[in-house]
């Protein structure tokens, strides 16, 4: 890991400009992965916080010129995670497992109005680029990004309040970064984005060591599909509902090709989503409905009712067609408990209904809270899942695919502690 981190640190040390650590902890939103470049994707998260402010105005986006030209901003995090999973006998026998990581290093620099942003993370068993892109503004309303960029789709930056995420993430429809370009237009309460993504972030469909969940290839499982030439479009509008109350309504669409390396033919995939993200003072309600379909061109004898998806060095089957519904509710309570300044209580629910006859629904239901004790942030989650990735260990590799009708809901307790700098 260190041999990959050293070049980033060396670049910062040798750069003939001001270097400073990030300390804008109050701009964090939801899951906190240390410093995020304060443009586009991160700005969307910040707008969620702006929705909670007393100002009825929608501030103009000036993030691409916010820092001094030539400056370098460094940040990162050191984290650890404890999990006790009742669906894993080894976990129960050991009273849970605790792991160190990930460790992240983030860097942002601005030069001649061109911004570069990098988020590198090491999990011990894999190293990933969470995002890495260059971008700039075009006039007062347009921005562009090129590189490993989060695709614009659904509730952003992600549809959850908890650490474990929900169903959309595990089928590649939330917090998914790919290699391509994204253009955004903002005017008042309107936010519109259009992106083109050539392929996954690594450009290697065999590589499951990735943060984002994508369709992957595995010749041993006769799965030879990969995502290519994908288009995404997203439009949202913000509504002011009164003091500290805002509503965002949005629509998203995605279409791309699936290249099969065995048949050398191209199938396709698509997804559409409607969402609302509302804030009433300390209350946040997220609602989302997604419809998706994968149409692979598999060779004879290989079923097209599932596709193989993967991340975090593992893979599992996902139903080729289905509908996802999300309902997340949270409440923020400012407190003064030592270093703790805010407690967020949340209940996040998501379900995947599969179109194929005989396939069983997948469910993730999470109750928990997060503690903000700058610079430390803690998640405490109780997660229940049925036919859900990394929760139902007895469901096999097709947990999000066909699933098992008699699979009981497994549960786990997850505690995540991070120090952010």
As a whole number of angstroms, the distance between CA 204 and CA 217 comes to: 9
**DSSP three-state, residue 299:** coil
**So what's the pLDDT on residue 376?**
96
Which tokens is 182 given?
């994204």
Q: Helices H, strands E: what count in the chain? A: 4, 20
Residue matched to tokens 């990394």: 390
3-state helix, strand, coil in the chain (%, to 5): 10, 55, 35
Q: CB–CB of 11/107 below 8 Å?
A: yes
Q: Which residue matches tokens 């976990």? A: 91
SS (H, E, C) 52-96: CCCCCCCCCCCHHHCCCCCCEEEEEEEEEEEEEECCCHHHHHCCC
8 A C-beta contact, residue 343 and residue 370: yes
- CATH code assigned at 393: 2.40.160.10
Prior bond of 290 cis (ω within 30°): no
Burial 273-309 (b: 16+ CB within 10 A, else e): bebbbbbbeeebebbbebebebbbbbeeebeebbbbb
Cβ-based neighbours of 146, under 8 Å, separated by 6 or more: 133, 134, 135, 180, 181
- In the prediction, which pLDDT does 69 show? 73
Residue 130 tokens read as 């969470």
Number of domains in the chain: 1
Nearest 5°: the CA angle 291, 293, 294 is 155
Q: Which residues contact 404 (CB under 8 A, 6 or more apart)?
A: 360, 387, 394, 395, 396
Instruction: Give the DSSP H or E segment for 184.
Output: strand 177-187
| Sole residue written with tokens 């959850």 | 160
Q: What is the DSSP letter of 98?
A: E
What is the structure's pLDDT at 62?
A: 34
d(CA 6, CA 9): 5
The pLDDT of residue 17 is 37
Q: Which two tokens stand for residue 92?
A: 């129960």
pLDDT tens by residue, the chain, 421 residues: 445 444 443 343 334 333 333 333 222 222 333 224 643 333 333 333 333 333 333 333 333 334 567 788 999 999 999 999 988 888 889 999 999 989 999 999 988 889 999 999 999 899 999 999 999 999 889 999 999 999 999 999 989 999 999 999 999 999 999 999 999 999 999 999 999 999 999 889 999 999 999 999 998 878 899 999 999 999 999 999 988 899 999 999 999 999 999 999 999 999 999 999 999 999 999 999 999 999 999 999 999 999 999 999 999 999 999 999 999 999 999 999 999 999 999 999 999 999 999 899 999 999 999 999 999 999 999 999 999 888 876 544 566 777 766 567 889 999 999 999 9
pLDDT at 398: 62
Query: What pLDDT, on a 0 to 100 scale, did the predictor assign at position 273?
Result: 98
pLDDT at 204: 92
- For residue 407, what pLDDT is reported? 62
Torsion of CA 294, 298, 302, 306, to 10 degrees: -10
User: How many angstroms separate the most distant Cα atoms in the chain?
Assistant: 63
What per-residue confidence (pLDDT) applies to 244?
Answer: 87
Distance CA 138, CA 100 (A): 42
Q: Where are the alpha helices (H) located in 171-252, listed in sequence order?
A: none
With beta carbons less than 8 A apart as the criterion, state whether 46 and 27 touch.
Answer: yes
Looking at residue 7, what is its pLDDT?
44
DSSP 25-41: GGG--SS--S---TTTH
The Cα 175–Cα 44 span in angstroms is 12
Q: Which residues pair with 327 in a beta bridge?
A: 287, 349
Positive or negative torsion for Cα 13, 18, 23, 29 = negative
Q: Tokens standing for 162?
A: 């908890």
Whole-number pLDDT of residue 32: 31
- Which residue segment(s) compose the domain that 67 sits in? 2-420
Of 384, 328, 327, 319, the closest CA to residue 352 belongs to: 319
Six token digits for residue 239: 């509504």
What six digits make up the tokens of 250?
A: 């949005």
Contact predicate 258/227, CB 8 Å: yes
Contacts of 183 (CB under 8 A, 6+ apart): 142, 143, 144, 145, 193, 194, 195
């Amino acid at each position: 890991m260190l041999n990959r981190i050293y070049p980033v640190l060396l670049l910062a040390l040798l750069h003939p400009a001001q270097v400073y650590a990030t300390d804008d902890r109050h701009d964090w939103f939801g899951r906190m992965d240390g410093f995020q470049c304060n443009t586009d994707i991160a700005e969307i998260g910040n707008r969620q916080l702006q929705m909670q402010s007393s100002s009825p105005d929608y501030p103009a986006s000036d993030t691409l010129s916010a820092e001094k030209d030539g400056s370098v901003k460094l940040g990162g995090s050191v984290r650890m995670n404890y999990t006790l999973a009742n669906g894993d006998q080894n976990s129960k026998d050991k009273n849970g497992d605790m792991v160190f990581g990930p460790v992240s290093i983030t860097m942002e620099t601005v030069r001649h109005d061109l911004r570069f942003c990098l988020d590198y993370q090491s999990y011990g068993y894999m190293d990933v680029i969470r995002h890495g892109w260059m971008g700039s503004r075009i006039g007062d309303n347009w921005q562009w990004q090129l590189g490993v960029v989060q695709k614009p789709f659904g509730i952003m930056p992600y549809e959850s309040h908890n650490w474990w995420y929900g169903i959309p993430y595990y089928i590649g429809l939330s917090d998914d970064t790919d290699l391509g370009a994204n253009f955004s237009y903002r005017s008042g309460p309107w936010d519109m984005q259009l992106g083109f993504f050539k392929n996954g972030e690594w450009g290697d469909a065999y590589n499951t060591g990735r943060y984002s969940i994508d369709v992957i290839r595995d010749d041993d499982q006769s799965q030879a599909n990969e995502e290519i030439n994908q288009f995404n479009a997203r439009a949202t509008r913000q509504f002011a509902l009164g003091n500290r109350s805002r509503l965002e309504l949005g629509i998203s669409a995605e279409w791309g090709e699936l290249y099969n390396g065995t048949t050398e033919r191209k199938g396709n995939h698509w997804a559409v989503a409607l969402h609302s993200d509302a804030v009433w003072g300390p209350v946040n309600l997220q609602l989302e409905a997604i419809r998706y379909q994968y149409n692979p061109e598999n060779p004879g004898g290989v079923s097209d009712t599932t596709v193989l998806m993967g991340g975090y060095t593992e893979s599992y089957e996902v139903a080729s067609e289905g509908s996802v519904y999300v309902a997340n509710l949270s409440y923020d309570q400012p407190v003064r408990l030592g270093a703790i300044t805010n407690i967020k209580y949340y209940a996040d629910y998501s379900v995947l209904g599969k179109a194929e006859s005989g396939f069983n629904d997948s469910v993730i239901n999470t109750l928990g809270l997060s503690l903000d004790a700058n610079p430390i942030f803690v998640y405490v989650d109780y997660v229940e899942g049925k036919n859900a990735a990394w929760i139902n260990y007895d469901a096999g590799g097709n947990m999000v695919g066909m699933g098992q009708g008699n699979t009981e809901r497994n549960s786990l307790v997850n505690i995540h502690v991070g120090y952010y700098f």
